[in-house]
Amino acid sequence: MEKLKNGYLFPEIGRKQLAHMKKYPDAEVINLGIGDTSEPIPRIITKAMAEYSLGLSTMEGYRGYGPEQGEKELRRAIAGTFYRNTGVKDTEVFISDGAQCDIARLQLLFGSNVTIAVQDPTFPAYVDSSIIIGQTGECADYGKYNRIEYLSCSPENLFFPNLSSIRPTDIIFFCSPNNPTGHAASRNQLEQLVETARRNGSIIVYDSAYAAYISDDSPRSIYEIPGSEEVAIEVSSFSKCAGFTGVRLGWTVIPEELRYSNGFAVHKDFDRIICTCFNGASNIAQAGGLACLTPEGHEALQGVISFYKENASILAETLSSIGLQVYGGQSSPYIWVHFPGAKSWEVFAEVLEKTHIITVPGSGFGPSGESFLRISAFNHRELIIEACNRFKRFFK
């Protein structure tokens, strides 16, 4: 814990927002910081949760503990919806209370005696959980921790790292579409990733939490790549595709073919971890998850995802039109804006002071995020338009 340099990124930003609101009590602060969904969950999904919930007050509908791995029906629906034609079986899907919680449980499984690689920049939970479990050395040059392999992703390499020169590590955390850059790795790039893991004996932890935002033919899952079942775990979530940031529901896939070098199945150990550390996801949330995967639920969600994607294009077009270098936003709800030569916390502070808009400083996602800001498209349309007007006035 002593090696951690700061508090976790998003609560730190929350504190800055509170301080700003105290300083300017009359300002209308627009939050384009943490990626928190803003639009209502389609009624077909909340109705399923409400009915399940009311059923809990009846003798017939009452349920206590469920299986730690999740309800069979939901595991089957996830395998059939997100992993059709990939060979993923329902018994390989573990339902959880969210991808971030599963990342922590995976770190508990891996323990302190492993090395990790991460995209740089990336979602901060991989690095912070690695520090907490004791996998890293001290924080050294440029805010990089010893024993972590940072895979730089920048405009120069089109946000995909050069895998041919990386130091082999036991684990590779890989998020696609990447949070924060918005880059969705292509099939060819994911083939390189799988090939690298196979060559180096690494396990990939593939985070597909933003897969629903992919606009092109990039793979939605690592299991679209042949051979990945022997080297990859996938974590994912209903948060960003179904507005479940508060409801809490996610899943992790561990294929039976994934083995340690001694031949033992990783699947069995993860099962042991979740039975010890988790009592299963809320049964009400799981009823909602099941409703998301009915044809009607799935269709209703596409409308919400399209709405956020339109927000992202409005933001990206506005920021490009005022001459900023803008990335992401096509296959992701995040816009990644470059301010060459500037310090991202300083840009964050100036934007907040002058526009009352909360963003996220790029360096919070890793050293290569320095001089970038991440802007989230999760907000109501009128606030996105108001934010664009404020950006136009500020950057003109």
Q: Which is nearer to ligand MLT, 35 or 243 (CB)?
A: 35
Q: Give whichever of 181 and 202 is closer to ligand MLT, judged by the CB atom.
A: 181
For the chain, strand residue ranges (E) read 30-31, 93-96, 116-120, 148-152, 171-175, 203-207, 232-237, 250-253, 325-328, 334-338, 357-358, 360-361, 372-376
Structure tokens that stand for 226 in this block:
């042949």
Can you tell me the distance from the alpha carbon of 67 to that of 78, in angstroms, rounded to the nearest whole number?
Answer: 16
* Closest CB to ligand MLT among residues 103, 185: 103
Torsion, Cα of 161, 167, 168, 172 (10° steps)? -40
Please classify residue 183 by burial: count the beta carbons closer than 10 Å to its beta carbon, then call 0-12 exposed, 13-18 middle and 19+ buried: buried
Quote the least distance from Cβ 184 to ligand MLT, whole Å. 16
Nearer to ligand MLT, 10 or 278 (CB): 10
Report in angstroms how near the CB of residue 134 gets to ligand MLT at its nearest: 22
Q: How far is the CB of 8 from ligand MLT (least distance, A)?
A: 9
Q: Which lies closer to ligand MLT via its Cβ, residue 11 or residue 80?
A: 11
Whether 324 and 395 have beta carbons less than 8 Å apart is answered as: yes
Give the shortest CB-284-to-ligand MLT separation in angstroms: 21
User: How many other C-beta atoms lie within 10 A of the C-beta of residue 124?
Assistant: 20
CB atoms within 10 A of CB 323: 9
Task: Give the span between the Cα atoms of 344 and 181, in whole angstroms.
Answer: 14
Q: How far is the CB of 238 from ligand MLT (least distance, A)?
A: 12
Residue 265 beta carbon to ligand MLT: minimum distance, rounded to whole angstroms:
29
Residue nearest to ligand MLT according to CB distances in the complex: 35
Residues near 389 by beta carbon (within 8 Å), at least 6 away in sequence: none
Please report, as ranges, the residues that interact with ligand MLT according to CB under 6 A. Answer: 10, 34-35, 100, 123, 179, 239
Nearer to ligand MLT, 16 or 47 (CB): 16
